[in-house]
Structure 1
């Protein structure tokens, strides 16, 4: 009788998930719940923190000025009115010390990571805002969770729901942490993130097409082949420059860089 009751509850919960919880606020088909996104992200963050050789994260106390500066930029995006899970996700940002890496990445639940190499490579604050908007979008649009759904399928999701194997989330977290710096998304997901970045920045003082300038710099310097995993290699940089600017034109938002001089001060707050 008890087993039948559990099965009934599982079927009922599954049905409710399918009809009520499997779509996010943009009607994207996603099985994992928001709570599972947050839990998964927390486990990934813990594993990243426990691997300082691969992820040498700057101490927030020692580099408090740099973190205050970076969080101020992030707040512009979070208060743009366009972030779906502003309240549900943690939106915790970290700086990874590696000047040779042009990278940033996001994990489920709003955990964001930016390398010092990328910060120093970018020319102005608007450029960094474009990158931050892109990464916020990956979390906010739940791209990693949607990848998990596609990769592991319904049986895995049902296992999470039933709680039959509590180690499943931990295993997935380990896989994500192990490849976090090289996370790649489909062309469709990259386009989504680019477009959302424009939408976020449209409600800030920054150039709404800030995400394009990184690609443009790579192209101008003949370094398109250095396009890091965080922005993927598809669509190619030329297409992304064009698509981001087309989106800005569609929105009619301001593309004039704010370009405050304080960005150089921010760079100097980092290890030299």
Structure 2
């Protein structure tokens, strides 16, 4: 009888611990912020160890391109709306593949963007919109929250409590293997869109810049069929309207910067 009584007490204690430790965005996650940091480090290492799938451009060979990107990243991260600006790594890497229109973020703030997407975009504001969206995925801890749904409570509790480091490595390898085709729920994509407006509202960029990429995709869809990007992402039909509605709701500046410097940036790439 005593053993039966002790088990519920232990479960209640553990649950209370987590319930009292909602993250800075008021989301309950069984992964701690430190788990996000460690998982991000492992995923970034998995990517570095797989140059065939992820041909990352060297910072030493393309210093000007990285300086340009990091300048945009730093301006967005200066926003008071970024919850984990101090805790996460916020490193950015360029993957060389002109055929891929994609960018992704790992837990812990490691951001990757393909040359195909960089060259597809038309302005620095467009790029800031994409980066704001990816920062939001990391800052809102979408991967951790998605893992919570995928793996279940018992496994993630053991990882979060440091009892199963092997599973953490397995999860890191799985995330790295699927990042190029990573699919978040419509809820998470809309949440990242909305938060990007909040971030960019604190910068000189048009706060609705995340919408311009989808507007270009929609125009191409009408002219030549569905772009490949849309096969792994929610339809942008309502996303443009939602982003613009959020910008109007918080009354932020939607005036874009002069796009001339962006062409210079694209010319820095191979």
Kept in 1, the 8 Å contact 2:94–2:115? The answer is: yes
Kept in 1, the 8 Å contact 2:32–2:160? The answer is: no
4+ residue runs of structure 1 moved beyond 6 angstroms? none
- How far apart are 1:265 and its partner, in Å? 0.7
Kept in 1, the 8 Å contact 2:220–2:227? The answer is: no
Matched with 2:193 is 194
> What CA distance in whole angstroms lies between the structure 2 residues aligned with 1:114 and 1:100?
12
Matched with 1:107 is 106
Kept in 2, the 8 Å contact 1:209–1:245? The answer is: yes
How many residues are paired up? 262
User: Are residues 1:251 and 2:250 paired?
Assistant: yes
Long gaps (5+) in structure 1: 1-6
Q: Secondary structure at the match of 1:112?
A: strand
> What CA distance in whole angstroms lies between the structure 1 residues aligned with 2:210 and 2:91?
21
Superimposed CA distance per residue, residues 39-67 of structure 1 (whole angstroms, 9 cap, x where no aligned partner): 00000000011000000000011111100
Kept in 2, the 8 Å contact 1:218–1:227? The answer is: no
Matched with 2:211 is 212
- How far apart are 1:232 and its partner, in Å? 4.8
Superimposed CA distance per residue, residues 154-193 of structure 1 (whole angstroms, 9 cap, x where no aligned partner): 1012211343322010000000000011111111101000
Matched with 1:90 is 89
Long gaps (5+) in structure 2: 1-6
- Change in 2 beyond 3 A, CA 1:19/1:63: same
> What CA distance in whole angstroms lies between the structure 2 residues aligned with 1:20 and 1:105?
30
Matched with 1:225 is 226
Segment drifting more, 165-174 vs 255-264? 255-264
Superimposed CA distance per residue, residues 181-211 of structure 1 (whole angstroms, 9 cap, x where no aligned partner): 1111111101000000111001100000000
Q: Secondary structure at the match of 1:117?
A: helix
Superposition RMSD in Å: 2.0
- Change in 2 beyond 3 A, CA 1:224/1:242: farther
> What CA distance in whole angstroms lies between the structure 2 residues aligned with 1:224 and 1:193?
26
> What CA distance in whole angstroms lies between the structure 2 residues aligned with 1:41 and 1:224?
36
